[in-house]
Structure 1
Amino acid sequence: MTSWSESMGEWRQRPLRDLVSLQRGYDLPAETRITGTVPVVGSGGISGWHNEAREEGPGVVVGRAGASIGKPTLVKGAYWPLNTTLFVKDFKGNDPRWVYYLFEITDFAGYNSGGAQPMLNRNYIADLQVRTPGISEQRAIADLLGALDDKISANDRVIANAESLMIVQAGNASSRTSVADLAEQHKATLSPGYFDAKVAHFSLPSFDEGKMPEIASGGSIKSNKILISEPCVLMSKLNPRIPRIWDLAALPGRMSLASTEFVALVPGRISSSLLWATLSEPSVSVDLAANVAGTSGSHQRVKPAELLALRVKDPRALAREVQQSIADLGVLCHLRRMESARLRVTRSQLLPLLMSGKVWVREAEKVVEGVV
């Protein structure tokens, strides 16, 4: 990791125009795109792919329109920034990744120059005063925060590959059975007022945000929840065309509650990961969606009885070593998600401190070493 050599006294206030030159992105209608390997970057991040680049990387792109106004995206290679963004045309000798982190902690909301549609105007933010260290400190900060981001990204890739392998392995089962023959629905619920002071809340938003439960105050939850006391699989009742299937291979060391929008399935004689892989086969969601056909999108809801009656591949027909492999991969995914959750907390704590010069890089390195 790059060693730091800047002193606190070398941080100084500078207008944003002295750090970077910003330019509006380019039009590229979806119907004109040719599939390729170049990321097309919109206000919310990468929104597609094209066969031609307009800018060389590394690049930093900032949303200038809509709900993602001010949201930065870091691009390592060549890219196409859309006209809904501003991108850094010239870094003026500053470290690109440090600039990305600078934009991440900068609140651009007050620089909206639009009317009904929020709009970020580069001229409005040109004189924004920013605390800036020298280039060696910029690189040290970027290296440290980048190491956290890179590790999280690596974990995401490991999880994605492991889950794909689990589904493929489970799909090799040669016989079929009903879901009810593999698991039973866990129905025990708990009412508000009986929740612990702190609980692990398995909700649809927490599934969508990284498949880690929210650690919440028990008093903040106002409705009945499913009390989870053993490994199981949560399957969303809502809109089966977009499956939300959650493998709870291990539980947190605190009271665990799940939204009643899930069906909680406790497996019998197989691991929760093996059940998850079986239910995650694409044909399962297709069959469930067929059961709610004719109901409009957001109102589609799977009935637990229909789920339990569904015919699926029988994972018990797989060789024992295959079953064990799937179970082991499920544990691996769980551990990687836990590690990434710790890294994200550490990142969120260190980001504003490092970017303001309130914490030395060397001090922050010790914190990161303790987490990793």
Structure 2
Amino acid sequence: MSTTRRALVLRALALLVLTVATMASLFTAYTGVHSQAAPVRERTAPAILDVTAAQNALLQSFDAVRDSATGELVSTGGGYRVQIAVANQSLARAAGAAVGGESGLRALETVTGLIVSYSGFLEQADRHRTDATLREGYLWYAEGTLSRDLDGILDRLDSLQDQQYDVLDGQVSFDRGAQLAWGATLVSGAALLLVLIETQVLLRRRFRRRYNLGLLGATATLLIALGAVAYATAETQDALDAAGHSLREDLLSPWGPVTGDADTQRRGPAEDVSNSVQDTAREVDDAMSGTDEWEGLAGLVPVLGLLLAGQMARGLWPRFDEYRFRAR
């Protein structure tokens, strides 16, 4: 085999190996970031908002009975029954998202059972609205079931939401795995680019041709593709960061424990919490809009690899033919 032909074979093998390595690492790096967008958008963020909405509705249900005037029937249209229904619907959606895994589902099952007891106490308090002693007794039981430390409904939902936030943090963070995948992509991509340039120089020196259109096309395609993929990934990561910030910083919690006391206090009016849930949901939707389109581009990475291989073959194959029978 001639020296030139051997050099061409070695470079063709190097280009093939580096192309496969670059596309593999690129696919891993790209999907590692973009695959988190759908879970955050469709499950994790809604589940966190649903738990907050359920807590707020449960507090409103207690307020509706506690604040009703003695002797007056609590309105079934806007009172505690509606709020209990809202809480149950919100928790059912959170269960459907299954963000907390098996432990989260068990916690929701426990909370659902406690809500049955809690609503029963409210029913009894409403039924004995003309008997102040019984009414206050049932309200006391209801409040304990709702806000008791550690095993009350609100504390259990807080613990569940902590699990959901842990999942969220893992989904929105650009973690070590993503950093390593992108580092491997940049290294293999840079090596592929250097071999493309070196091969172009070799062909120019050996074959007296100034440009090789196949290799020039592969070089341009690689640079454009890496730039576009990096841009799309940065956009998705920015969206994930924005969604995580909105859920962590902008979502108003409906309650907080009083220091040194088993009772609870409200952090703000129920209407403010409801508005906060709606506003945060809009912020997350705005931040995550378009990320599904970026995610769908992952399937083009193998196509990109085939395109690069075809361009390289177009540039090298004619040179192989020229040196098929030559000896040096």
Answer 1 or 2: higher relative contact order, Cα 8 Å, separation at least 6.
2
Structure with the largest fraction of strand: 1
Question: Would you say same fold, with TM above 0.5?
Answer: no
Q: TM-score, normalised by structure 1?
A: 0.26
Structure with the largest fraction of helix: 2
